[in-house]
Structure 1
Amino acid sequence: MDAIQQHMLDTYRAAQLSEPAPPPPGRHDRAVLRDLYRHWLRHPPTRGPRDHSSPSSAPPGPSGV
Structure 2
Amino acid sequence: MIDSSNNPPDGPQILNRRQELFRFFVLAFGIWPIVAVGVVGGYGFLVWMYQIIAGPPGPLGH
Name the structure, 1 or 2, with higher relative contact order (CA <8 Å, separation 6+): 1
The structure richer in helix per residue is 2
Give the alignment's TM-score, normalised by structure 1.
0.32
Give the alignment's TM-score, normalised by structure 2.
0.33
